[in-house]
Amino acid sequence: MARHKSFKASGKNKSAEPVTFDIGYELDGNEKVEEFSAVPNKPGAVILDFIAEADSRDGGRAAAALVSFINDALIDDDKKRFAAVIRDPKIDVEIETLAGICEYLVSEYASRPTQQS
């Protein structure tokens, strides 16, 4: 008898809440906090692709993978504002912060159960 197992994709769930995070910083003597929203879910293959790129021995590819993964996860309304914050020399968002955001997003996407509508 042939060996077989069936798998089911959960599909997109439009009622799932977005994943949010914020970046706090001081600018011109004022404390600011920017909150960003990311899409509720990412396909498993997208997460695996990111992990493979981020774990490569090519530092340039790994760095590009971090920024690209965050950008692709953000909702459209937050993409330009996020890019402005992380590229502003007065704010100086560190590499460790970007890596932490990626780690948070990946952990949320990998462990978050699909919510029922």
Alpha helices, DSSP H, located in 14-93 = 44-54, 59-73, 76-87
Nearest CA-CA partner of 16 in 40, 44, 42: 40
Which residue in this structure is represented by tokens 């197992």?
Answer: 5
Nearest to 24 by CA among 85, 79, 109: 85
pLDDT digits (tens, 9 = 90+) for 6-56: 888 876 655 578 999 999 999 889 999 999 999 999 988 999 999 999 888
pLDDT digits (tens, 9 = 90+) for 90-106: 999 999 999 999 999 99
Q: Determine the Cα–Cα distance for residues 99 and 47; give it in Å rounded to an integer.
A: 14
